[in-house]
Amino acid sequence: MDSISCKAYGKINLSLDVVGKRADGYHLVRMVMQQVGICDSIEIRKTEGTDISVSTKSGEIPTGPDNLVFRAADVMRKTFGITDGLSIHLVKRIPVAAGMAGGSSDAAAVFRGIRDLYGLPADNRRLEELALPLGADIPYCIAGGTQLSEGIGEILTVLPPSPSCTLLVVKPDLYIATPAVYKAFDHIPEREVIHPDVDAQVDAIRKGDLFGVAKTCGNVLEQQTGADHPVIGQLERFFLSHGALQSIMTGSGPTVFAIYDDHAKAEQAMEELKRVESFASFQKFVTGFVPGMDA
pLDDT tens for each residue of 226-280 = 989 999 999 999 999 999 999 999 999 999 999 999 999 999 999 999 999 999 9
What phi and psi values does residue 155 have, to the nearest 5 degrees? -95, 110
Q: What is the pLDDT of residue 94?
A: 96
Q: What is the pLDDT of residue 119?
A: 97
- Say whether 137 is catalytic: yes
Residue 159, SS3 per DSSP: coil
Other Cβ atoms within 10 Å of 272 Cβ, number:
13
CB burial of 92-125 (b: ≥16 within 10 Å; e: otherwise) equals: bbbbebbbbbbbbbbbbbbbbbbbebbeeebebe
Other Cβ atoms within 10 Å of 190 Cβ, number:
6
Going by pLDDT thresholds of 50, 70 and 90, the confidence category of residue 216 is: very high
Among candidate residues 11, 17, 40, 106, the one labeled active-site is 11
CB burial of 194-215 (b: ≥16 within 10 Å; e: otherwise) equals: eebebeebbebbeeebbebbbe
Summary count for the chain: helices (H), strands (E) = 10, 11
Going by pLDDT thresholds of 50, 70 and 90, the confidence category of residue 128 is: very high
CA distance linking residue 28 with residue 18, whole number of Å: 6
The amino acid present at 37, given as its one-letter code, is G
- Say whether 199 is catalytic: no
**For strand 166-171 and strand 85-91, is the pairing parallel, antiparallel, or unpaired?**
unpaired
Other Cβ atoms within 10 Å of 77 Cβ, number:
18
- What average pLDDT does range 65-70 have in this prediction? 93
Among candidate residues 17, 40, 106, 137, the one labeled active-site is 137
Q: What is the pLDDT of residue 1?
A: 84
Q: What is the pLDDT of residue 218?
A: 97
Provide the percentage of residues in the chain whose pLDDT is more than 70.
100
CA distance linking residue 46 with residue 88, whole number of Å: 9
CA distance linking residue 102 with residue 120, whole number of Å: 25
What phi and psi values does residue 158 have, to the nearest 5 degrees? -70, 130
Query: Which residues on neighbouring strands pair with residue 34, listed in sequence order?
Result: 12, 146
HSE (side-chain half, CA atoms, 13 Å) at 279: 24
- What average pLDDT does range 139-149 have in this prediction? 97
What contacts 50, CB < 8 A, 6 or more positions away?
83, 84, 85
Q: What is the pTM of this model?
A: 0.94
